[in-house]
Amino acid sequence: MSPKLEKTPLTDALEDYLETIYLLVRDKEFARVKDIAKARSVKSASVSPAMRRLAEMGLIKYMQREYIGLTEAGEQQARRIYAKHQLLTRFFEDILDMSPKAARIDACAMEHSLSPQAMDRLARFFEFIGVCSEGKEFVEKFHKCGLVHDDKSFNHGECSSELMPDEQSKEHIISVADLQPGEKGSVTHVNGHGAIRQRLLDMGILPKVIVEVERVAPSGDPIWIKLQGFQLSLRRKEADAILVISG
DSSP secondary structure, 227-238, as one string: ETTEEEEE-HHH
Neighbour order of strands in the sheet with 184-190: 173-175, 242-246, 184-190, 210-216, 223-227, 230-234
Distance (Å, whole) CA 195 – CA 191 = 12
Q: What is the DSSP letter of 205?
A: -
Q: Are 54 and 77 in contact (CB under 8 A)?
A: no
- In which element (H, E) is residue 60 found? strand 60-63
Of 109, 104, 102, which Cα lies nearest the Cα of 89? 104
- Mean pLDDT, to the nearest integer, of 112-123? 90
Per-residue model confidence as pLDDT tens digits over 162-176: 445 445 444 578 999
Neighbour order of strands in the sheet with 67-70: 31-32, 67-70, 60-63
Catalogue all structural domains in the chain, each as residue range(s) with its CATH number. 9-114 (1.10.10.10), 169-246 (2.30.30.90)
Per-residue model confidence as pLDDT tens digits over 70-112: 999 999 999 899 989 999 999 999 899 889 999 999 999 999 9
pTM listed for this prediction:
0.72
Weakest-pLDDT range from 92-101, 172-181, 195-204: 195-204
Of 111, 87, 83, 91, which Cα lies nearest the Cα of 10? 111
- In which element (H, E) is residue 87 found? helix 72-90
Contacts of 140 (CB under 8 A, 6+ apart): none
